[in-house]
Structure 1
Amino acid sequence: MIRTVNAILIGLLATLAVAAIAEQGPERAAISSSHELATEAGAEILDKGGNAFDAAVAVSAALAVVEPESSGAGGGGFWLLHRASEDVSVMVDGRETAPAAATEDMYLDEAGEVDRDRAVNGALAGGIPGAPAAWVHIAEKYGTLPLSELLAPAIRLAENGFPVDAKYQALINYRAHVMMRWPETAAIFLPGGEVPEIGATIRNPDLAVTLRALAEQGRDGFYSGEVARKLVEGVQAAGGIWTLADFAGYEVAEREPIRTDYRGYELITASPPSSGGIAIAQMLEIVEPFDLAGMSSADRVHLLAEAMRRAYRDRALYLGDPDFVDIPTRMLLSEDYAAGLRTTLRLDRATPSSMLAADPSRLGTESTDTTHFSLMDDQGNIVSATLTVNLPFGAAFAPPGTGVLVNNEMDDFSAKPGEPNAYGLIGFSANAIEPGKRMLSSMSPTIVRGENRTAVIGTPGGSRIITMVLLGILDFIDGNGPESWVSLPRFHHQYLPDEISIERGALDDATIAALEEKGHEVTVRDRTWGNMHGVMWHHDSGELEAAHDPRWASGGAVVVELD
């Protein structure tokens, strides 16, 4: 059963359900990330005596170099941390913020329509980056090694280069035509003006200089001084609105995670401005009375899709930056509210989304090309982190001399009431553009703790992140390990468009026909989605398992033997 848990009850649950966990860690460490070179960077730091939080900084920075399509120093993210010695969890919010000069209608043309090119391509599309500030914050508050040591692997990779893999090549094909607008940007990521061959080496010496300034000067090395000047001047020269004051004023936020319980497991997951934790909690609460394991495939998918539909409707209605929007968290996570939603659900028939109409004065939106890693050290410290620049390669623009790709997270705001963003998510006033505001996200880094096992799970995938993590959690609770979670066939419903979308081959023809008989529209996608990474700890044996999504071959998952 899911419920909002106050601080006293959280302590009692921890004492009763996981007391044994705090006594002894797993004696080894495990990392799963979307690039084997980033996983190696984290293992290098663990080998040097760093803890999970040190390793998380190294992995994050390395991903910023070798996976620029998905994250970077010009982006942001959420780092969900669990410190075993105190049994304390916190979400470090390094989400980007809107520049001070941003306005609600900044992406509308003269006819009042959204100019999608301005919203996603080039300098005007970027929010103020939060990732470097989060790295410094985590290193200084939770780590044990100097920042210069944690960033050393990433600096090496930027200077010496990394080989192009299939994911890099596929996604730069998607964005190359935009990147070619800025020759200095294309020179880094499209050497010779061509999409590089798999195995070709990409070097980014300007990014190495930027990272070295951060390593030597801490926060000031990025948010003030020469690096900040180059970033701001480059963005302004290309039509953007960043200022040095925006950089000086950026602050990391620490937020209390969303905590719920389901069938004897405690979930610790992302809080707003992520919509993921609340949505996952709602979906689990809605389906809690039902025997999912005993259902037919069609009935199970139908029930979960109906829960997804209702949670995404509420996501649109109520969620945004908690520093700007009054979010009714207690109501959304209450048993009574879920029971009310459950009364609108029929097991024999799909509920059209139009019958769950949202008040257009309150609707909100979201984000995607993204990355995730899961990490645990030998003391039981945990990091589940999801990082992003939004679309592949962000805005496809790097201010000259920085090597930093600007994000295009401003598209995660609602540029116009009711207008879908790049991922089909609609938005209204709760997620409207305001100076200093953090845009809503679906990133859902999650930790699940039971009496005998702990899971660390998350994935990229834009609006589908939430449902992928939901399916992974259910698979873990069903008794399966990370190889199973990351490989599961995926299906998704997000309220609008009113359809169940599935990966090709995820459901058989009979199940699809049964769902259509219930009134669902089922859309089979040719492309897979997500890139999930999971770590699991067996408390009794101390065994660790780590797995990366087989959909992309570039991932790296290791169990690290420590001296």
Structure 2
Amino acid sequence: MPALTCRSLLATLLTALALCAGGKSAWADASVDANPEAATGVTAKALVTARHLMAATAHPLATDAAYVTLRRGGSAVDAAIAAQMVLTLVEPQSSGIGGGAFLLHYAAKDGAVRFFDGRETAPARVNEDLFMRNGRPMPFFDAVNSGKSVGVPGVLRMLELAHRRHGKLPWADLFQPAIAMAEDGFLVTPRLAGLIAGSDALARQPAARAYFFRPDGTPLQVGDRLRNPALAATLRAIAAHGADAFYIGALAGRMVDAVASHPVPGTLSRQDLSSYTALEREPVCAPYRHYRVCGASPPSSGGIAIAQMLGILAHTPIDRLAPNSVDAVHIFSEAGRLAYADRERYVADPAFQPVPVDAMIAPGYLAQRAALISPTRSMGRAAPGDPVPGGLVRLGLDDTPELPSTTHLSIVDADGNAVAMTSTIEQAFGSKIFVDGFLLNNELTDFSLSPSDPQGRRVANRVEPGKRPRSTMAPTIVLAPSNDGRPPRLRLVVGSPGGSAIVNYVAQTIVANLDWGLDIQAAVSLPHRGSRNRETELEAATGLDSLIPALEKRGHHVTLHEFPSGVHAIAITPDGGLQSGADPRREGTALGR
């Protein structure tokens, strides 16, 4: 019997049990439709299939680099490093060696999932009033486009640590594709050209203007060949001498000088760079149906929030609903409100603020939260729960925006190991500070700009020296149980850019593939919907606007948005085949063999 039908029978049985236990189920009137093919979305790219290995990234040249690395016998981590170096060159608006990343690794030999934390840290000389001006938070974009926003980059130390654990090819070899491309040049794509043209702040920074604009001051155009010999030299040094070439010595000094000489200077120091440490942590793992979903742990809120959303949705009939039905959109949005409410209060760097991860994803707690969802009426703004009764309510809410310029890649190697990696320099082109061929991040604006909320309660995600800002990045790996006593098998590798909307993008893709039975490309292409505990947001120009009257009747305040997600996912079929989906909203591709 197909799994979807089994789940439908299970949901029916649960409803019947609820009726026998004392009355009408809250979901008894929810409309059901077991026809997932009724889903429609933006125009999808073609599903890519393979038998042995697969790479999906946000740019065709990065996908090529990852694929060639895999074909040479490289591991998933090797391919991720090769791809990230190319992305530093060809997708500078989104990520690069001047930023940070989270990497989730699955080892086929024992089924272990490990989380590598390369999140930026705050310099030692900051204080909690970093972004305060005359007793009030600075305007957000004044904070972004400044030296104050630059955190200590973490991606290279993280990749070095992951390579030490799981690399196969020599470190230096993994930089050669990006070095060659930087020297020879690459063609500017429509997405990069559009973002350059739309960034006045980029043009105001002399080093960035000299690189991203023509000599006459006009922005680069689609099809222009862009060479970056400075980045080639930087990558050549890192290839030869490891991450120390970045964190110690002349390059570190030039980064410090660039931040200090900005009109709004920051406090990044050589000591901040030389003392940066990437961390290996336990991931956040939780059950969903018969699967196990693993994601990023704090300082990311992504793994917790996805575990919460899925744990809440497991108490609803969402698996029996047509994907683009009003019921499905309503339930998914309400689950998001509850997860985002907890995210805004409780999640921060665990070295500075204890985060009750186990309590936040405990089945009993999520059952209580799910009971707050009405099938006929939106709850509006959800209040945070109380996972540790009376213990954390003193914390203030932090709704600092997290901007959507980030990238994600998913990789499975020939040995069955996998990487899901999300990396970022935060807002498009980060701080706009350009040094030796790459951009520095503006990641410190992911902290709360104010150390306290309007009620005077201290915010867990406030700025502190050495602290890692909260993130929503959510690289995710889904495991399925093996029936022969072997380690759990890989089922899904997924993640997305998208700022604070990442949790909704990733959770939706998981539900679409596991519950609604959509192939992974159709799941990635499905119209976005959800709530970040404010409006109910629907993706514009996808047909979801037809649901607005019915949603408003249930009390939803609905807004339409463009959602420039960049979901890249790999699904593993029951016979071990690989299927990949690349988000049609960006320029990404997938390649496999």
Q: TM-score, normalised by structure 2?
A: 0.84
Aligned counterparts, 1:144-293, within 5 A:
144-175=168-199, 177-192=200-215, 193-238=217-262, 239-293=265-319
Question: 2:126 & 2:86 partners in 1: Cα distance?
Answer: 31
Question: 2:429 & 2:554 partners in 1: Cα distance?
Answer: 40
How many correspondences in the alignment? 522
Aligned counterparts, 1:348-367, within 5 A:
348-353=376-381, 361-364=395-398, 365=400, 367=402
1:457 CA displacement? 0.8
Cα gap change, 1:53 to 1:289, in 2 (>3 Å): same
Aligned counterparts, 1:78-477, within 5 A:
78-175=102-199, 177-192=200-215, 193-238=217-262, 239-295=265-321, 297-353=325-381, 361-364=395-398, 365=400, 367=402, 368-399=404-435, 402-417=436-451, 429-451=459-481, 454-477=491-514
1:536 corresponds in structure 2 to: 571
SS in 1 for 2:129: coil
Question: 1:216 & 1:57 partners in 2: Cα distance?
Answer: 15
AA of the residue aligned to 1:43: Y
Question: 2:241 & 2:384 partners in 1: Cα distance?
Answer: 52
Structure 1's unaligned 5+ residue stretches are 2-25, 421-426
Question: 2:358 & 2:385 partners in 1: Cα distance?
Answer: 22
SS in 2 for 1:191: coil
Question: 1:184 & 1:133 partners in 2: Cα distance?
Answer: 25
AA of the residue aligned to 1:376: V
Question: 2:90 & 2:379 partners in 1: Cα distance?
Answer: 44
Question: 1:166 & 1:268 partners in 2: Cα distance?
Answer: 35
Contact 2:475 / 2:495 at 8 angstroms: preserved in 1?
Answer: yes
AA of the residue aligned to 2:84: S
Question: 1:453 & 1:86 partners in 2: Cα distance?
Answer: 11
Cα gap change, 1:453 to 1:506, in 2 (>3 Å): farther
SS in 2 for 1:344: coil
Matched, 1:550 2:550: no
Cα gap change, 1:344 to 1:171, in 2 (>3 Å): same
Question: 1:199 & 1:461 partners in 2: Cα distance?
Answer: 26
AA of the residue aligned to 1:475: A
Question: 2:574 & 2:90 partners in 1: Cα distance?
Answer: 34
Contact 1:320 / 1:327 at 8 angstroms: preserved in 2?
Answer: yes
AA of the residue aligned to 1:374: S
Contact 1:274 / 1:441 at 8 angstroms: preserved in 2?
Answer: yes
Identity across the alignment (%)? 38
Question: 2:472 & 2:314 partners in 1: Cα distance?
Answer: 22
Cα gap change, 1:99 to 1:543, in 2 (>3 Å): same
AA of the residue aligned to 1:521: H
Matched, 1:490 2:528: yes
1:271 CA displacement? 1.1
1:509 CA displacement? 4.8
Contact 1:453 / 1:539 at 8 angstroms: preserved in 2?
Answer: no
RMSD: 2.1
1:11 corresponds in structure 2 to: none
Cα gap change, 1:354 to 1:300, in 2 (>3 Å): closer
1:270 CA displacement? 1.4
| CA offset digits 1:439-473 (Å, max 9, x no partner) | 00111111112258711111100111000100000
Cα gap change, 1:252 to 1:366, in 2 (>3 Å): farther
Contact 1:118 / 1:124 at 8 angstroms: preserved in 2?
Answer: no
1:27 CA displacement? 5.6
1:294 CA displacement? 3.0
| Displacement over 6 Å in runs of 4+ | none
| CA offset digits 1:243-276 (Å, max 9, x no partner) | 0000011000111111111111111111111111
SS in 1 for 2:137: coil
